[in-house]
Amino acid sequence: MLASLGLTVPSMRQEILRLLGTEMPGEPPITAETPRLTRTDRAAAITLVVEHPDGRIEAMKFRRTDDAVRYLNGLEY
């Protein structure tokens, strides 16, 4: 939802840190001991929290954006 408003993770992180009164941490130096992450090593999850009209609150995690959108499109109210 925040992405649809034009917000990005880096801009949100920077704003949160600004509000907390701290600076954005720099990138750690890459050394021979620093493992490099490949695209398959990185994992992301989308967590949706839905409050249903009957008061139930449901939290769902999705690995893919398409799955999260499909779930939301399937909700009928």
Distance from C-alpha of 59 to C-alpha of 76, rounded to nearest angstrom? 17
Structural domain boundaries in the chain = 42-77
- Decide: 16 and 22 in contact? Cβ < 8 Å: no
**Whole-number pLDDT of residue 6:** 77
Q: Which residues contact 23 (CB under 8 A, 6 or more apart)?
A: 17
Residue length, the chain? 77
Query: pLDDT tens digit string along 23-70?
Result: 656 656 656 665 565 555 556 688 899 898 898 898 988 888 888 888
pLDDT at 23: 61
* Exposure string over 12-24, b if 16+ CB within 10 A, otherwise e: eeeeeeeeeeeee
Q: What is the pLDDT of residue 9?
A: 80
